Amino acid sequence: MYQLVKLLASGPKTRTVLLRRLHIDIRTFYRDMEVFRECRIAVRLDDRKYLLDEKVEQAIARLPFPDPNLTLGEAVQLAKGRSPVHRKLAKLVKQIVR
């Protein structure tokens, strides 16, 4: 998805070009588009070409982060802190523990 965002940010591309450049099939493409919608990443279709309709840095910041394969202990350690990110992780840990 990161590479898709970067390609879309570089200018309008047809779906065919995106599929070929990323070596993905059409189902993967539409799944990624659905994730973008869920994450509020603005992609516009104009004249059969897709284009990122916001700053690339903003879109990348909202991409979902894949499972980092942390142990519960590591997640607990990382959840210590006072920032919104720490609180978010602490909330996830709490859901797992209860």
Question: How far is the C-alpha of 46 from the C-alpha of 66, rounded, in Å?
Answer: 30
Domains of the chain: 2-62 (1.10.10), 67-98 (no CATH)
Segments in the chain below pLDDT 50: none
Non-local CB neighbours of 43 within 8 Å, separated by 6+ positions: 8, 33, 36, 50, 51, 52, 53
- Annotate 48-85 with DSSP letters as a single string: TEEEE-S-HHHHHHHSPPPP----HHHHHHHT-SSSHH
| Model pTM score | 0.77
Going by C-alpha positions, the residue among 57, 64, 12 that lies closest to residue 38 is: 64
Write down the pLDDT at residue 58: 96
